[in-house]
Structure 1
Amino acid sequence: MVMLYETKINKIGALSSAFSGDNMLILFGDGAPDELKDYCLSIDIEPVEGDFREGDELLLGGESYRVTAVGEAVAKNLASLGHITLKFDGSKSAELPGTLYLEQKELPEVLAGDSIQIKRCC
């Protein structure tokens, strides 16, 4: 396994579950604008070690999710702002540039202090 990205959740916005009906979680570095902080999982901004691709694995809240599509700005936005959307809908094509699409499974229960990892097998 090759680690492509690793960070931790510092804070969970009071309204971060507002998008759970759309199977989405929003990540943002600690510098998120005030009007967005309540909707986001606040994370440390960390370097990205390569581009993400279909078949990579995201680990979050003790669960594993296969990456199904990657928006063209995901790696850049994650490395510079810590800001992407995680969409758990199994989409095979990336409709939005800042969205990482994951297999359709129940959203994980996340807690402050949890890690987020994206890995590539082989």
Structure 2
Amino acid sequence: MKTIYQTKINKIGSSVSDFLGEKMFILFGDNAPAELSDYCLLINVNEIEGEIEQGDVLAFNNQEYTITAVGSAVKQNLGSLGHITLKFDGSDTSELPGTLYLEEADIQVPEAGSLIQILKK
């Protein structure tokens, strides 16, 4: 598999675990507004080398998850702001433009320093 995107989690917001029940994480670059940063995984903003498509893989917290749907603004927002939502609910249609939908899974809050990669199959 080819890596088309890679970043590192620099900081875990103090309220990130509030979204575990909804099976979601919010990513934001280190430039996140103060009122949002407590709810985000703060990451490095990096370029995306290719298209993010259904069937690609997100490697996160030492596990791989199949991408089931891609919101229309995911590539733009991730590449420019580092800001998207990861939703682990298995949806095969994208309801929200800034959300990357992944196979349904129980998730745990990652550690700072963890890598996030998007891999092209």
Query: Normalised by the shorter chain, which TM-score bucket?
Result: over 0.9
Unaligned runs of 5+ in 2: none
Alignment gaps of 5+ in structure 1 = none
RMSD: 0.7
Instruction: Give the alignment's TM-score, normalised by structure 2.
Output: 0.98
The aligned residue for residue 119 of structure 1 is 119
C-alpha contact (below 8 Å) 1:63/1:108 kept by paired residues: no
Hey, what does 2:60 align to over in structure 1?
60
1:58 is displaced (CA, Å) by 0.4
Q: How many residues are matched?
A: 121
Runs of 4+ residues deviating >6 angstroms: none
Q: Which stretch has the larger CA shift, 103-112 or 76-85?
A: 103-112
Helix, strand or coil at the partner of 2:48? coil
1:99 counterpart residue number:
99
Report the Cα offset of residue 109 of structure 1: 3.7
Q: Secondary structure at the match of 1:48?
A: coil
Is the 8 Å Cα contact of residues 16 and 25 (structure 2) preserved in structure 1? yes
**Identity between Structure 1 and Structure 2 (%):** 55
In structure 1, the partner of 2:44 is 44
Q: Which moved more, 1:41-50 or 1:102-111?
A: 102-111
Cα distance between partner residues in 2 of 1:73 and 1:51: 12
> What is the TM-score normalised by the length of structure 1?
0.97
Give SS of 2:55's match: coil
Aligned-pair distance for 1:20?
A: 1.1
